Amino acid sequence: MAPSAQLQRAIAALKAMKRLGFDQGVSKAILKELLKVYGNNWEYIEDENYRLLADAILDSLEAKDNGANKKYPAVADELGKPVKRLTAVDDLGPSQSTHEHETYGETILKKKKLVASGEASLISFKGEKNKPVEAQCSHGGIGAFLSPDSLLKDETDGIGEMHPQLAINFEEPRTLLDHTTSKITRRTMCSSYQRDEQYKCDREDNVVGYKEPKIEPDIGVLQETAVNTTFLDKPIHVAGNDISTNCNISTAVVEPDRVPSEIAANGEEARNLGDSGANTLNGPTHAFNIQLAPNKGNDVQNELSTNANIVFSNMGKEDVAKLSPLNESMGSCKTPVIHRSLTGRSFNGSPNLVSLEAQRGMNGLQSGLHIDGESNGLQENGASESSNNNVSHCLAFLPFHENVVIASSPQHDKHDIAKGEEKLKISVVNEFNSEETPPYFRYISCNAVYQNAHVNFSLAQISEDDSCINCFGNCLSASIPCACTRVTGGEFVYTLDGLLKMEFLTEFIYMNCYMGKHFVYCKNCPIVRFSSGYKPVACKGHPVRKFIKECWSKCGCNKQCGNRVVQRGITRNLQVFYTANGKGWGLRTLEELPRGAFVYEYVGEILTSKEFRDRTAQGYGSAEHTYTLVLDADWGSVEGLRDEEALCLDATFYGNVGRFVNHRCFDANLVEVPVEWETPDHNYYHLAYFTTRKVEAFEELTWDYGIDFKDLEHPIKTFKCLCGSRYCRDCCRSKGRKRK
């Protein structure tokens, strides 16, 4: 919520307390605490004419009466005379409105003693410094163990003891306050569900006359998420050999909207698409992170070592584990099959399942690239590595096992290369040679962690300052920009039509062209560390980029909110086609695109720079085309980034349409924009592509890879540029300098 609105609400609250006869200083101090506790959720505080606030003040005053003032003199000195407590709801009757409270003034206010609000049930938030305070929680495991100092810092000064019903609600908001308290585990994150259960329980015990807190929209999401992820029982995405790490699913799950009506197929190709829009009601789109190929020696490895039949399936509404033994279907396969199902749930409540099916060949007919279970590196398996087929037959990264067989080479569906993963079908056309479809890769619509990349998507990491928890509906239609616009100067980057606003677009284009002006340098750069073979080589610098922050599930707004564009996925009619000028396959639009339109997100496997290096060293880099991007990291802020924090996005084996977009120097029609929604970690952004200008139907889509064609040492292989731009940076390069 914007500060002015906050202020207005605070003034209203203080006025209401004044009317009840409370000292303004005391009211202010308590209000501040409550806001902190409730994560600025005003609805709790405003409910029933500020009942919670009034009662908290009274509690403080009571504490003073009981001698707590000796313990907390700072508070006690501030406190005014105890006056009255708001009556319980039942005392007032259902018709008692705020107005009536005001009308009756003090006369209707009578103090109702809470039956079990004695000292024993009080929780001191002062506690002992640096010691965790355990909430008085009757549900084992739900109670949080938090350091009040780290979370509430010195602002706890001035607050006395609180009743349990307040204290219970202290748990979750405090874990959410500040993402810098990054070591908070799921255990410490009391979900609203748990909190409300806890609350009920306390109410029963204590006969509390409070109205049960409403479940806010964002909290509802939290609740569901918490329930859905309990099967993991461990923090999400903690690198290591933890079973939950290796096979976890992160929570960015987005229900696609129907395809906007303005999307209409244009031209012949578009007509050929036929029911290109008919897929819009397919199952939810999912932003799962799935870690593949766990290390040898752990539990998952033991399971996986029996080989896997793992398939990225399109997760329909009634997705269930449909994993049949591979050895039944594969005939010659001697080894058993592991069935590892990963379940998640979309926010519409329908259960989803991601199953992974990996097939690998050893029958000699197939050449394949394999990742060895121990080294996690690629292994050549026979045939010429320069062939695209190497890529096409490398289907999944699993611990290498000799007895695995690929039955047949999978094919792309030329009518829909996305195989239903996107809301629209994406057709494939080749008018130049007999190659019907591009070399095989697995189409995924959301990034997937390969193995060690540290991408932490825990809800607790996203502070409430980073979400607009009090918003409702569409943030763009509110009069004041929401908290999610903080990173973009308090302004939404999108227009009501879902386009990137001109000023932001210009800024992003400028940023991409002149990135050299905003470079930071690492002392011990993980990128050069690996590419130089651990020799001490100076960092070449990393661009510091601006990014977009979209609203997310922790926000109060809905999925159709105008500040959620990229996460809704592809909504434009696109086509993979074979280019005429030697660049191989490319991507084009089948409809005219306005300037600032979101087209796609670049999707692939998230690798650490070491994993990428290992892949390259094993020969992967000799494939004809490269599909790897370096992701951003918090380069400047830390002395030495860990390997798991310097990440790449590799769409070679798993990817989406983004992998087909070719490079064009400077005047490309797309610009890359980092977008953040489910994690405040700046070592991971979604890379989204927006049009830099109006793009005609059937125009090839291009973006400037930012390649320095002179840098022959760059880990990502360059190529002889055929972009055709009059500004081509590769125009002076002789053929002889082309990298081998």
Ligand X SMILES: C[S@@+](CC[C@H](N)C(=O)[O-])C[C@H]1O[C@@H](n2cnc3c(N)ncnc32)[C@H](O)[C@@H]1O
As measured in angstroms, the least distance from the Cβ of 430 to ligand X is 11
Stretch that binds ligand X, among 440-448, 630-638, 690-698, 718-726 (CB under 6 A): 718-726
Question: Which residues 6+ apart lie within 8 Å of 153 measured at CB?
Answer: none
Stretch that binds ligand X, among 285-293, 373-381, 523-531, 622-630 (CB under 6 A): 622-630
Task: Examine residue 721 and tell whether it contacts ligand X (CB under 6 A).
Answer: yes
What span, in angstroms and rounded, lies between the C-alpha atoms of 83 and 187? 40
Give the shortest CB-740-to-ligand X separation in angstroms.
Answer: 14
Binning the chain into helix, strand and coil, the percentages to the nearest 5 are 30, 15, 55
Separation CA 682–CA 191 (nearest Å)? 25
Among positions 653, 660, 677, 684, the unique one binding ligand X when judged by CB under 6 A: 660
The CA distances from residue 491 to 56, 238, 467, in Å, are: 36, 34, 14
Residue type, 306: T
Q: CB of residue 332 vs ligand X: minimum separation in angstroms?
A: 32
Nearest CB to ligand X, comparing residues 540 and 625: 625
Between 450 and 585, CB nearer to ligand X: 585
For 163-267, strand residue ranges (E) read 252-254
Q: Could you say whether residue 583 binds ligand X (CB under 6 A)?
A: yes
Closest CB to ligand X among residues 505, 723: 723
The residue whose Cβ lies closest to ligand X is: 584
Question: For the chain, how big is the Rg over CA atoms in Å?
Answer: 29
Q: Which residue has the tokens 């905003």?
A: 518
Complex with ligand X: residue 686 or 717, whichever CB lies closer: 717
Site for ligand X in 434-463 (CB under 6 A): 438
Structure tokens at 39: 């994560």
Give the residue with the Cβ less far from ligand X, 215 or 722: 722
Of these, 360, 663, 682, 729, which contacts ligand X (CB under 6 A)?
A: 663
Among 573, 662, 669, 683, binds ligand X (CB under 6 A): 662
722 contributes a contact to ligand X by CB under 6 A? yes
Are 314 and 282 within 8 A, CB to CB?
yes
CA-closest candidate to residue 418, choices 389, 448, 442: 442
Crossing angle for the helix pair 164-177 and 24-37, to the nearest 10 degrees: 60
CB 308 within 8 A of CB 357: yes
Task: Give the binding range for ligand X (CB under 6 A) out of 216-224, 374-382, 547-555, 625-633.
Answer: 625-633
Output 285 or 662, the one with its CB closest to ligand X: 662
Give phi and psi for 26, each to the nearest 5. Answer: -65, -45
Provide CB contacts within 8 A for 241, sequence distance 6+: 294, 295, 297, 298, 300, 301
The alpha carbon of residue 180 and the mean position of all alpha carbons in its chain are separated, in whole angstroms, by 17
Contact segment (CB under 6 A) with ligand X among 19-27, 331-339, 676-684, 721-729 equals 721-729
Among 495, 424, 474, CA closest to 259: 424
Give whichever of 201 and 722 is closer to ligand X, judged by the CB atom.
Answer: 722
* One residue of 19, 540, 625, 693 binding ligand X per CB under 6 A: 625
Is residue 706 near ligand X by the rule CB under 6 A? no
Q: Which residues, including other chains, have CB under 8 Å from residue 398's CB and lie 6 or more apart? A: 292, 293, 304, 307, 308, 310, 358, 360, 371, 373
Q: Which stretch binds ligand X (CB under 6 A): 5-13, 362-370, 554-562, 660-668?
A: 660-668
Token output for 6:
């906050």
Build a one-symbol-per-residue string for 584-613: x at contacts with ligand X by CB under 6 A, - elsewhere.
Answer: xxx---------------------------
- Nearer Cβ to ligand X (18/710): 710
Which CB sits closer to ligand X, 485 or 656? 656
Segment interacting with ligand X, rule: CB under 6 A, options 74-82, 288-296, 655-663, 681-689 = 655-663
**Whose CA is closest to 50, among 73, 5, 19?**
19
Q: Which residue has the tokens 């999400």?
A: 236
Nearer to ligand X, 361 or 586 (CB): 586
Taking CB under 6 A as the rule, does residue 719 contact ligand X?
Answer: yes
- Other Cβ atoms less than 10 A from the Cβ of 282: the count is 16
Q: Shortest gap between Cβ of 442 and ligand X (angstroms)?
A: 15
CA-wise closest residue to 114 among 205, 212, 177: 205
Verify binding: residue 685, ligand X, rule CB under 6 A.
no
Q: Phi/psi zone of residue 418: left (φ > 0), alpha (ψ -120 to 50 degrees), beta?
A: alpha
By CB under 6 A, which span of 148-156, 393-401, 674-682, 719-727 interacts with ligand X? Answer: 719-727
Out of 626, 652, 683, 691, name the contact with ligand X by CB under 6 A: 626
Judged by DSSP in three states, 378 sits in: strand
418 is a contact residue toward ligand X (CB under 6 A)? no
Among residues 530, 627, 677, 685, the one that binds ligand X under rule CB under 6 A: 627
Applying CB under 6 A, what is the total number of residues that bind ligand X?
17
The closest of 548, 531, 536 to 648, measured between CA atoms, is: 531
370/729 with CB nearer ligand X: 729
Q: Do you know the residue count of the chain?
A: 740
Binding site for ligand X (CB under 6 A): 438, 583-586, 624-627, 659-660, 662-663, 719, 721-723
